[in-house]
Amino acid sequence: MKLDGIKVLDLSLFLPGPHFTMMMADHGAEVISLEPTGGEPVRQVGLTQNGQSVWFRNVFRGKKSINLNLKTEEGKQAFYRLCETVDVVVEAFRPGVVKRLGIDYDTIKKINPRIVYCSISAYGQTGPKALSPAHDLSIQADSGALSINEGQDGNPAQPAMPVADMAGSLMAFSGVLMAIIRQQQTGEGDYLDISMQDSLVAWYANVMGPPFAENRSPTPKQERSWGGAALYNIYKTLDEKYLTLGGSEIKFAYNLLMAFDREDLFELCKLPPGIAQDPVKIFLSEKFAEQPLAHWETFLNNIDVCWAPVRELNDAIRDEHLAHRDMLLTDNQGNYHLGVPIKYQNEPAQPNFSLPEFSQDTKNVLQSLGYSDDEIKVFQNNKVFL
């Protein structure tokens, strides 16, 4: 696999760090998770299947679990010795914590100059908000994403997806892989300062017209991506279900309106999104409300137009196309797992569905670092690990 031979030490918790290091594990990296006393919190969060949290299973498969008390000198020295053997360190503490613990990048690079050290935080390691605590919702709110996630009542709506978390995960993943390439070319490591807010804002490429060109915030229901375009919108059907039109290219507008014998509305679709397209939106709203979703599935499948039904999540994840793409997997116990989205023709991912018990690998990892059984017993007695 692509990452065979790469060794990762992951101190992060919850979603951004664990998600991206799991993707590394799927592609062959050895990922050692250093869990705090009590374990990764998501072991206990949400619904379970066969005794394991579904969330935990979706971020932790194929990893090893160790526990070291980094506030003890013995635990810190064991951490240093482990850092000598790894390629990547990932942490997601609040800025300043790793410095106080003595496990920051400047300390570790003296031990291992090749180390790629990735810090993931809400606002980054520098700037006025660096020390502010925040999870996904707060980052979305503070970065403007929540204001454009407007409900039909005109108020900000609770976001359905943790896009700040996942943007941070993917930026960290990309950054670490680039640093590994350079590490292998030069023998030198690097430090990555990944901000969830930076990562989210970098996703705004297609929505920054109003702020950049006109120095104003968007009016969501009048903008192309959020309801202003007739051919990029959500419509209710007779049976209280919904469908979406998802392609604003003018050819799709022509194809659909010709099928409805309403070529007279076509010129309106050439106008900028907003009030000018309201007559088209009104017509489509009334038209789609005349028949149930099943009728429109047959009708629209015979027209070259971008459209999709609004599926409930439980139905959508079991769609035959996702099954064909191996995005819903099951292990030997019948537990469900999300699949691997990065699909290589050569050396494809081989997700390992095993999940470690808390700290199950600590002794083996310490032994691999040269600690004797007697030293490990002393560590246990001194509560260096649990």
> Which candidate in 165, 190, 198, 361 is catalytic?
165
State how far the Cα of 290 lies from the Cα of 262, in Å rounded to an integer: 16
Q: Which residues pair with 194 in a beta bridge?
A: 120
State how far the Cα of 93 lies from the Cα of 136, in Å rounded to an integer: 15
Contact in structure between 322 and 343 (CB atoms under 8 Å) = no
| Strands, E assignment, 68-227 | 88-91, 116-121, 190-195
Contact in structure between 37 and 6 (CB atoms under 8 Å) = no
Q: Which helix (H) or strand (E) holds 259?
A: helix 250-259
Residues 6+ apart with CB under 8 A from 254: 263, 266, 269
Residues 6+ apart with CB under 8 A from 73: none
End-to-end Cα distance, the chain? 33
Verify whether residue 165 is a known catalytic residue.
Answer: yes
User: Which residues are identified as catalytic?
Assistant: 165
